[in-house]
């Protein structure tokens, strides 16, 4: 066969250079909550996007002011917010098109915290400490706030959670505020093309979590050790929080009329996207042998499955933001979808624990790509059920050193631009199979997190939206 010679791209000067249509504009848009100006635990924040132009998915983010209520405490107590603090107050995210819910991400704070650990390196998280809320501070105590000093003695551990340590007894109730901002992972931000806003009436609905779920109360072992020059005696909880100045921010692209007419001449607009779904199960303490956890999640194209092994025990400082090896290094994990096992050979914690970490990278599709970063160090990966044996155990998880033993399975057939490249659940539930060789000490609430394909289908005439997944 004869080969066809082609100019290298670097010297192919005949390649046409495209230009944007004249009149194209890009506006940075800020949308505010339409149901209030300040919000607290167990409330909802409703934000309607503009009804003009096109949403640039890569620009979607949130920003707000978080005010924490500090209680009366003794000297040398620590207070904390678990996970990625910017996401931690949000327990659920709903996306609505024309008043119809098309996407619901339950345990959104656990999902978003996992994504920060699986898509960002330590240096990435350090570069976003202020925005994400990764603070470690010394609080002088007393009747007034006084000045706060930042602790940088163990910088690498200042990339999980928010921790304040008092150096004197708190004699009056006070508050402390943080200004937080981060991207918003959902079907809108994962869309592969601009999302039309004209006539689609998109609303984002944020449900806030209880303070008891996001601010731990524990003995000294769970306090963390990142505050230099101080000794913690107990971990106490913030008494409440308030979110104000909540904003959804994005770039809004607007085209000239002739381009708009050309786009709307299509009978239907289909946009490929992806999103996340979760299911929750429970494992009591004292369990051994094979445990099957059934999750009623049914999707046509599942690209990856992740088990977030959070504990409901007092020995776990971060609760559902933790992920701990339930098998204590003496068992295995795998999934079953429509009668097929993924992977075919169970992931063994007894034979090759590090192999599970590589499978997690494969599930995140970053084993051989430029995006090969994860923020999981050895201490965080090696947490086991047997180690967190009691409320006062020194080997317990901590706010600034959470458990990150996340089990991931890649289920994408091929990494291509084609539609629906993952496996189908064939309208059947998904089973996580955990072989536990050593009886569990603690109770757990494992979350199955799915990464799946979806299609946003918009009828240009009626403006009706159909979300296919």
Tell me how far apart the alpha carbons of residues 126 and 152 are, in angstroms, rounded to a whole number: 11
Tell me how far apart the alpha carbons of residues 254 and 50 are, in angstroms, rounded to a whole number: 12
Task: Work out the number of other CB atoms within 10 angstroms of the CB of residue 462.
Answer: 9
Q: Over the stretch 175-229, which tens digit does the pLDDT of each residue have? A: 899 999 999 999 999 999 999 998 889 999 999 999 999 998 875 555 555 455 5
Q: Over the stretch 231-264, which tens digit does the pLDDT of each residue have? A: 667 788 999 999 999 999 999 999 999 999 999 8
Tell me how far apart the alpha carbons of residues 460 and 308 are, in angstroms, rounded to a whole number: 40
Look up residue 454 and give its DSSP letter.
E
pLDDT confidence tier of residue 414, bands split at 50, 70 and 90: confident
Q: Which residue has the higher pLDDT, 230 or 469?
A: 469
Contact 443, 282 (CB under 8 A): yes
Residues 6+ apart with CB under 8 A from 188: 55, 57, 60, 95, 195, 202, 273
**What pLDDT sits at residue 8?**
86
- Greatest mean pLDDT among 7-11, 295-299, 414-418 lies in 295-299
**What pLDDT sits at residue 393?**
64
Residue 149 pLDDT exceeds 70: no
Nearest Cα residue to 401 out of 318, 325, 320: 318
**Residue 250: in which H helix or E strand, if any?**
strand 240-254
**What pLDDT sits at residue 152?**
55
pLDDT confidence tier of residue 2, bands split at 50, 70 and 90: low
Residue 145 pLDDT exceeds 90: no
Residue 171 pLDDT exceeds 70: yes
Q: Which residue has the higher pLDDT, 151 or 281?
A: 281
**What pLDDT sits at residue 140?**
67
Query: Nearest 5°: CA angle at 76, between 72 and 80?
Result: 70
**What pLDDT sits at residue 82?**
94
Helix, strand, coil proportions of the chain in percent (round to 5)?
A: 15, 40, 50
Domains and their CATH numbers in the chain: 23-468 (2.70.9.10)
Residue 63 pLDDT exceeds 90: yes
In terms of DSSP H, where are the helices of 281-390? 353-363, 378-381
pLDDT confidence tier of residue 174, bands split at 50, 70 and 90: confident
**Residue 214: in which H helix or E strand, if any?**
helix 211-214
Mean pLDDT of 39-47: 97
**What pLDDT sits at residue 205?**
98
Among 76-80, 150-154, 271-275, 380-384, the least confident range: 150-154
pLDDT confidence tier of residue 388, bands split at 50, 70 and 90: confident
Contact 205, 48 (CB under 8 A): no
Residue 21 pLDDT exceeds 60: yes
User: Could you write out the DSSP letters of every residue in 128-189?
Assistant: THHHHT--EEEE--BSS----EE--TTGGGTTSSEEEEESS-B-S-EEEEEEEEEE--STTT
Question: Could you give phi then psi for residue 355, rounded to 5 degrees?
Answer: -60, -30
Burial 122-156 (b: 16+ CB within 10 A, else e): beebbebeebbbbbbbbbebeeeeeeeeebeeeee
């Amino acid at each position: 066969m004869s080969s066809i010679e082609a100019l290298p791209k670097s010297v192919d000067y005949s390649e046409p250079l495209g230009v944007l249509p004249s009149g194209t504009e890009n506006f940075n848009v800020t949308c505010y909550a339409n149901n209030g100006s300040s919000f607290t635990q167990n409330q909802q924040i409703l934000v309607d996007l503009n009804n003009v132009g096109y949403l640039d998915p890569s620009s979607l983010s949130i920003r707000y002011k978080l005010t924490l209520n500090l209680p009366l405490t003794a000297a040398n107590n620590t207070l904390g917010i678990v996970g990625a603090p910017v996401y931690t107050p949000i327990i659920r995210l709903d996306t609505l098109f024309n008043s119809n819910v098309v996407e619901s991400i339950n345990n959104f704070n656990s999902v978003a915290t996992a994504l920060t650990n699986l898509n960002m390196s330590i240096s990435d998280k350090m570069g976003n400490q202020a925005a994400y809320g990764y603070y470690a501070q010394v609080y002088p105590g007393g009747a007034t706030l006084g000045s706060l000093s930042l602790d940088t003695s163990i910088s690498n551990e200042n990339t999980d959670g928010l921790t304040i340590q008092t150096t004197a007894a708190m004699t009056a109730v006070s508050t402390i505020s943080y200004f937080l901002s981060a991207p918003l992972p959902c079907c809108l931000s994962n869309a592969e093309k601009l999302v039309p806003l004209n006539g689609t009436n998109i609303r984002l609905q944020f449900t806030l979590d209880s303070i008891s779920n996001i601010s731990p109360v524990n003995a000294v072992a769970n306090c963390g050790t990142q505050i230099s020059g101080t000794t913690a005696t107990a971990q106490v909880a913030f008494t409440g929080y308030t979110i104000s100045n909540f904003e959804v921010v994005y770039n809004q692209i607007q085209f000239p009329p002739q381009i708009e007419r050309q786009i709307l001449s299509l009978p239907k607009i289909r946009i490929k996207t992806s999103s996340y779904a979760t299911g929750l199960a429970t494992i009591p303490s004292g369990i051994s042998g094979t445990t099957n956890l059934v999750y009623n999640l049914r999707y046509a194209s599942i690209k990856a499955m992740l088990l977030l092994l959070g504990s409901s025990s007092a020995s776990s400082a971060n609760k559902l933001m933790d992920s701990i090896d339930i098998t204590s290094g003496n068992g295995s994990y795998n999934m079953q979808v429509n009668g097929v096992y993924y992977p075919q050979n169970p992931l063994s914690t007894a034979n090759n624990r590090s192999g599970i970490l590589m499978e997690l990278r494969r599930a995140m599709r970053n084993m051989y790509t430029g995006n090969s970063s994860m923020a999981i160090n050895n201490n965080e990966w090696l947490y086991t059920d047997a180690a967190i044996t009691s409320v006062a155990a020194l080997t317990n998880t901590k706010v600034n050193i959470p458990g990150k033993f996340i089990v991931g399975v890649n289920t994408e057939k091929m990494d291509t631009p084609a539609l629906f490249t993952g496996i189908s659940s064939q309208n059947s539930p998904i089973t996580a199979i955990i072989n536990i060789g050593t009886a569990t000490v603690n109770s757990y609430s494992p979350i199955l997190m799915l990464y799946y394909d979806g299609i946003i289908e918009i009828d240009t005439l009626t403006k009706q939206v159909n979300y296919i997944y």
